[in-house]
A and B are shown apart, each in its own frame.
Chain A
Amino acid sequence: NAGVTQTPKFQVLKTGQSMTLQCAQDMNHEYMSWYRQDPGMGLRLIHYSVGAGITDQGEVPNGYNVSRSTTEDFPLRLLSAAPSQTSVYFCASSTGSLYDTQYFGPGTRLTVL
């Protein structure tokens, strides 16, 4: 099993550009989530999904969109990037909820100029 994979590993954007961060898992997990990690702060939940076709907002959802068309994939979209979205983004999956053991991807480091 590859576990949770994220692409790209690094990305530089200009303000106003859009992009999609990819996340995939091969563990047949129902629950998937996106976090951002900023210096001096803990991880903060952006969006989560409890299964295909179901998504909801976390603590810091503004500026991000998600969809879940399959169990395996949970992409995160930035429609118009802003410097405040410079961060490291982690995707995670678990069997049922964020209180089950979450398996994290290696992260995507995003810089918005």
Chain B
Amino acid sequence: AQSVTQPDIHITVSEGASLELRCNYSYGATPYLFWYVQSPGQGLQLLLKYFSGDTLVQGIKGFEAEFKRSQSSFNLRKPSVHWSDAAEYFCAVGSGANNLFFGTGTRLTVIP
């Protein structure tokens, strides 16, 4: 069965600093991988997704993620964080069947 691990519950970064949020998954074949962001009191918004092809994926709001099969990882990165990036970030994995497994989320705090 698929599973997703986000090892960092909470991360604090300074505005302008770089960011990397970790995501590890467990799945035998090539998974469908997603990153979603949830601002306080809001629903989730898709940042980016990976199905196949180029392992470096560009998303909205200046985010990117890299699929590393050997490490079963799909880490999210941003070179320079803005205060508006403070939110909760969820990694998700799907197998092609009708289900999507979400990680427990990483809460990002941005210090001015």
Interface core residue of B41, B43, B92, B94 (most chain A CB under 10 Å): B43
Residues from chain A with Cβ under 8 Å of B104 in the complex: 40-42
| B residues adjacent to A (C-beta < 8 A) | 4, 32, 41-46, 49, 51, 90, 92, 94, 96, 98-105
Cβ contact within 8 Å between B44 and A43: yes
Q: Is A44 an interface residue (CB 8 A)?
A: yes
Chief secondary structure at chain A's binding surface: loop
* Residue total for A at the interface (Cβ-Cβ under 8 A): 23
Closest A residue to B103 by CB, please name it: A42
Given contacts A98-B94, A99-B51, are A45 and B42 in contact (CB under 8 A)?
A: no
Cβ contact within 8 Å between A104 and B45: yes
Cβ contact within 8 Å between B98 and A98: yes
Given contacts A42-B90, A99-B32, are A48 and B98 in contact (CB under 8 A)?
A: yes
Closest A residue to B43 by CB, please name it: A104
Name the distance in Å between B99's Cβ and chain A's nearest Cβ: 6
